[in-house]
Chains A and B, each alone.
Chain A
Amino acid sequence: MCLAIPGEIVEFVPDRPGLAKVEVSGVRRAVNIGLLEGEGLAAGDWVLIHVGFALSRIDEAEAKATLTMLEGIGAAYDEEIDALRESRID
């Protein structure tokens, strides 16, 4: 849970203004975007995700660089992605 991971917003969840579907390393899950209220997020934007919540908006270059680094750290990142895969936020 110590990691914050970049995800790309792929779509918004109809009737749930606080949620967005993001894609992280091939895993697509819903996360809460309530902490970035009023930031005018759109599909294609990148956000830093921590325990199911988008914490800050980042640019694509930063997101890609962070992903490369995270993929390089091995077990800790794999565990985070496995945990995300189990997540059922809706």
Chain B
Amino acid sequence: MRFVDEYRDAEKAHHLAASIAALCEPGRQYKFMEVCGGHTHTIYKHGIEDYLPEAVSLVHGPGCPVCVMPMGRVDDAIHIASQPNVIMTSFGDMMRVPGGNGSFFDAKAAGADIRMVYSPLDALKIAERNPERRVVFMGIGFETTAPSTAMTVLRAKAAGITNFSVFCNHVTILPAIKAILDSPDLRLDGFLGPGHVSTVIGCRPYEFITRDYRKPLVVAGFEPLDILQSVHMLLAQLAEGRSEVENQYGRVVPWDGNTRALQVINETMEPRPYFEWRGLGFISHSALRMKDAYADFDAERIFDIPGGRVADPKACQCGEVLKGVLKPWECKVFGTACTPETPIGTCMVSSEGACAAYYNFGRFTRERVKEATR
């Protein structure tokens, strides 16, 4: 096992891989979904799948916020950015995401004032410095990122800044997991729970998965060893007939999450009745919008957005990849028409996307492993 040289604790990894194999019931196949894009990245970067026993496969989930952004919302954002006097601000990851009429980069090249920021607080700063302009922050991300947007809105309100608003596209992970569990396409045996989302929401909200669906879930860290240990914990639960929420990443994730972060989300935002996820379709209560009390900071109410739905390109199979039905390389356009330079689908845009992670690392690791084991 060449790859363990890169591990912090090679001996532990050897030992884990062996006990993972020992826990597998002969003749049984195991499918675990890693919900978070960060995990997908680690798995491909370190070629973890290729070293797990044949009986265990890892399936990539919908936990990349850029990847799940539907094309219609990108078009809406570009519409806002094209209004008079507007400065649109966005995380860099969002810039290349294609909508029906191009990406932020395309709109910027065509003259829209779109600026990359590291933090929503940087967007607020741009608003303070440009009082005559209308500054909009493109809010994207799961529960990990929503508190930052919420804190920034609270700060804007407290400081009396009136030319700042948020185009809120924050999504929540639990309804997406539920949609996948209810989907007939895929039979899963358990989940690797998202590490950083859980820092905010804690471990309790996953209990419906273990109780109602009887699937074990282990909140996992991001190092190769964390992933292996979490797979081991899932297999141990199955072997003992348990389905529980366990926290492998306790050194970072408190069982009850970050209550202050949840509080600021609840103060400023509320669930939308439904939201479209790229490839997964409309999912009830799966995203957040600004509360009425913060209407003055809600770009959706300030600007008249088209709100249209745009179908994904026919050739694109991001939906199947996001649900874990297809592996990236099984998509018809993977690596040919769709590459990180010219992405058709969102999974190829973000470095956390399953397709980009596989394109950049996975396929090379697989080749190396094949050679090493030849």
- Chain A residues with CB under 8 Å of chain B are 1-4, 32, 34-38, 48, 50-53, 55-56, 58-59, 62, 65-66, 68-69, 72-73, 75-76, 79, 83-84, 86-90
Contacts and interface: CB of A to CB of B under 8 A. Distances in A.
B199 A48 contact: yes
B141 interface: yes
Contacts of B38: 2-3
Contacts of A4: 144, 196, 199
A56 B199 contact: yes
A65 B146 CA distance: 26
Given A34-B151, A90-B125, A55 B264 contact: no
B199 A55 contact: yes
Contacts of B92: 1, 79, 83
Contact of B118 (A56, A76, A84): A84
B121 A35 contact: no
A87 B118 contact: yes
Given A4-B196, A35-B260, A50 B118 contact: no
B226 to A, nearest CB: 10
Interface residues of B, number: 44
B119 A2 contact: no
Which A-B residue pairs are the 5 nearest by beta carbons?
A52-B119, A1-B91, A83-B118, A87-B118, A76-B351
Interface in B211-267: 222-223, 251-254, 258, 260-261, 264
B45 to A, nearest CB: 6
Contacts of A48: 196, 199, 252
Interface in B91-123: 91-93, 116-122
Nearest to A84: B118
Contact of A51 (B148, B251, B258, B260): B148
Contacts of A75: 351, 360
B41 A89 contact: no
B148 A58 contact: no
B62 interface: no
B258 A52 contact: no
A73 B41 contact: yes
Contacts of B65: 2
A88 B126 CA distance: 10
B269 interface: no
B350 A2 contact: yes
B187 interface: no
B37 interface: yes
A65 to B, nearest CB: 6
A1 B122 contact: no
B309 interface: no
Contacts of B172: none
A3 B200 CA distance: 14
A1 B95 CA distance: 12
B351 to A, nearest CB: 4
B319 interface: no
19 contacts: A1-B91, A1-B145, A2-B350, A2-B351, A3-B38, A35-B264, A56-B199, A56-B258, A58-B251, A62-B252, A65-B8, A65-B223, A66-B222, A75-B351, A83-B91, A83-B92, A83-B118, A86-B116, A89-B122
A51 B45 contact: no
A65 B92 CA distance: 26
Interface in B348-362: 350-352, 360
B72 interface: no
A13 B260 CA distance: 21
Contacts of B87: none
B77 interface: no
B343 interface: no
A51 B145 contact: yes
Nearest to B356: A76
A49 B64 CA distance: 18
B151 A53 contact: yes
Given A52-B118, A65-B8, A66-B222, 15 more contacts: A1-B91, A1-B92, A2-B65, A4-B144, A4-B199, A34-B151, A51-B120, A55-B196, A56-B258, A58-B252, A76-B41, A83-B91, A83-B117, A86-B118, A87-B118
